[in-house]
Amino acid sequence: MLRALLFNALVFFHILIGQLDDGNHLPAYLFRPAAIDNVGDIRPARIGLGFDNVAFKSQDIFPGSRSNGNHEIPHSFLSLMFYISVTRMMPGEREEGGAKSFLPLPPLAHFWQVVGKTKRTMPEGPSIFILREAVEELGLKGKVVRHVEGTSQIDKDRLMGEKVIDFRSWGKHFLVCFKDFTIRIHFMLFGSYLINEQKKTPPRLSLVFDKHELNFYTSSVQLIDQPADEIYDWSADIMSNTWKPAAAFRKLKEKPKMLACDALLDQDIFAGSGNIIKNEVLFRIRLHPLSKLGDIPDAKLKELVKETRNYAFDFLEWKKEFTLKKHWLAHTKKICPRCDIPFHKEYLGRTKRRSYFCENCQRRYG
């Protein structure tokens, strides 16, 4: 209880000083049921600032978020106190005007209980891929950086007047490539970005071009004194055209004592794979997360490699359709859809990330 209170006090402190741009997601049942479907997404409705996936010309890159016309931001704790009228627009639908929508403030005790249990999920490879596509559409490749600012401690003067060679992604990294150096952006748990828009809080990095600007918030920003091609093994990226499944299989064979749940989070093997992909792939191929790689048959390891890439592109397709959560079979679920028995939820492996698995249909090797 004390730890939860200290955590929430820290969160509020960060909000007050403007360093925490986005708050944790609160459960859907706090909001109007008519505006929310069974996966907690907003249906077409005029709603108040602070709901999951509210259209506000910003892009939240967390799994399950939407980006169609108006971009979105996740709601903040401040939304419990302030409600601003905005309109959510779904594909193929148009809404005009706006209407105020107010929600009653939940009891304080219930608020503490909810906040203490909320989770954030680090964006995975497909989400960064979508960001890269959005930036590529601006035609900024070959353009000169006219202005740089932000709270990041990198040498921002070095970027002034430099021509961008390319925008790339590797795993969970978004890369701004210059001739002799690379800017690496990692969105961690709370990162977000804005294209041609700004938040009231200072960005970690803002890149201004002649006609466009890119703003990155609450992110890790690094300047690396090497071209990207000298740093990254593109064949390890599960979203890359140069992905090499044989190399991934060889790396798995070289680590016989590693657990399957750790292997799917190892960025040297599966760059871009995260906790959602981990849980869904293991369930898809009926493999227990505590299986040791050295005890798993080669055929099953090859299936693991194949389905990790397959699921990454399913993830990408569903995310673009705004239906990602609807396709989850294991991640965050309570009942196994194959066996109709309760899932196990445990914090497993070296990283102690959440695992959802079925003891009945997911075989454990070793």
What averages of pLDDT result for each successive group of 10 residues across the chain (366 residues)? 60 43 33 29 30 32 35 36 32 32 38 41 87 95 96 95 96 95 92 93 96 95 94 95 96 98 97 96 98 98 98 96 96 97 97 96 96
The CATH number of 236-357 is: 1.10.8.50
Task: Kindly calculate the radius of gyration of the chain based on its CA atoms and give it in whole angstroms.
Answer: 21
Q: Where are the beta strands (DSSP E) in the chain?
A: 46-48, 54-55, 72-73, 85-87, 147-149, 166-170, 173-177, 182-186, 192-195, 205-208, 213-217, 220-224, 344-348, 353-357
What number of CA atoms fall less than 13 Å from residue 62's CA on the CB side? 22
The correct CATH number of 125-230 out of 3.40.47.10, 3.40.50.10420, 3.30.450.20, 3.20.190.10 is 3.20.190.10
- 173-177 and 147-149 strand pairing: unpaired
d(CA 9, CA 197): 30
- CB 115 within 8 Å of CB 5: no
pLDDT at 40: 30
pLDDT at 103: 36
Cβ neighbourhood burial of 10 (10 Å; 0-12, 13-18, 19+): exposed
Phi first, then psi, for residue 155 (nearest 5°) are -75, 95
d(CA 234, CA 232): 6
**pTM of the predicted protein model:** 0.68
- Tokens describing residue 339: 């066996």
Amino acid letter for position 190: F
Amino acid letter for position 23: G
- CB 143 within 8 Å of CB 164: yes
Residue 2 to residues 9, 11, 15, 58, 82, Cα–Cα distance (Å): 11, 14, 20, 35, 27
- Tokens describing residue 310: 């397959």
Domain range list for the chain: 2-117, 125-230, 236-357
- CB 89 within 8 Å of CB 67: no
- 54-55 and 173-177 strand pairing: unpaired
pLDDT at 66: 33
Q: Do domains 125-230 and 236-357 have the same CATH topology?
A: no
pLDDT at 98: 33
pLDDT at 88: 31
- Tokens describing residue 112: 């503490």
Q: Is the backbone of residue 276 left (phi > 0), alpha (psi -120 to 50) or beta?
A: alpha
- CB 54 within 8 Å of CB 86: yes
